[in-house]
Every structure is written in C-alpha cells, then in structure tokens.
Amino acid sequence: MSFALGYVRFEPKWLSLFWFWAWTNLLFTCIAEEAVYRGIMQRYLVAGLTKYRYGATIGLVLAAVLFGLMHYPGGTKYVLLSTVAGFGYGWVYLRNQHIEASILTHFLLNCIHFVFFTYPALATAMG
C-alpha cells in the first residue's frame, strides 16, 4: 500500500548498520508500541466492548486508529499507512492473544521495509 501511494519506492539494500537498527527497532519501537497499543489499549477496549455486538472489532479499529494518529508527525499518508498496519498488528493480537505475535509481525514488516524499500519514506512523500 505504501508503494502504491508513492510513499516509498523499491530500493533493496543491505547496510552494515542493519543489526544495530534491528535491535533498536525491536526494543524501542516494536515492543514499546505493541505494549501500549495492543497490550493496553486494544486489550482494554475489546474487554470493555465485549457486551456489544462487534465489540472486539470496534476495539481493534479504535486501537488501530489511535496507533495511526500517533504517527501524525510523519504526515497524513503515514497516518493512513500506520492505521492499516495497526489494524494488521491488532488482528494478529486479537486472533491469538499473544503480544509477542503482534511484536513479531510489526518487527518483520519494519525489517522488510528497511531492507527492500526506501526507509522510512521518500522525502517527497512526507506530508
């Protein structure tokens, strides 16, 4: 989707700093964001909405939107893309109830993005 929106372009590379970036991304981005948005927000939203029809889906969508809005400094395209990604991470978490699964999904997507596409985005795509 980010490719289709012109937010990134295909640019495969292997940088020597990958392993430093990967550990930093895993520990300070993926674990932290998933702990907050899936482990806290989504879990409590879903629990609070279970008495309603589609409560789990509504909780998932709300957590994904909040996750997307947190990325607002990257611009409106980044909000949209982050919301879609947040929905995916949230769906993984909702399906198996293991935060590690959403952390791994988030981390793998970021790694694919880092290795195969411009990272974090094309300069002209910001905004």
* DSSP one-letter code for 97: -
The token duo for 46 is: 């879903």
Which regions in the chain score pLDDT beneath 50? Answer: 125, 127
Contact in structure between 83 and 63 (CB atoms under 8 Å): no
Choose among 123, 124, 103: nearest CA to 29. Answer: 103
* pLDDT one-digit tens code per residue, 82-92: 999 999 999 99
The predicted pLDDT at position 127 comes to 47
Residue 120: the pLDDT is 66
Tokens of 23: 């550990």
What's residue 7's pLDDT?
A: 78
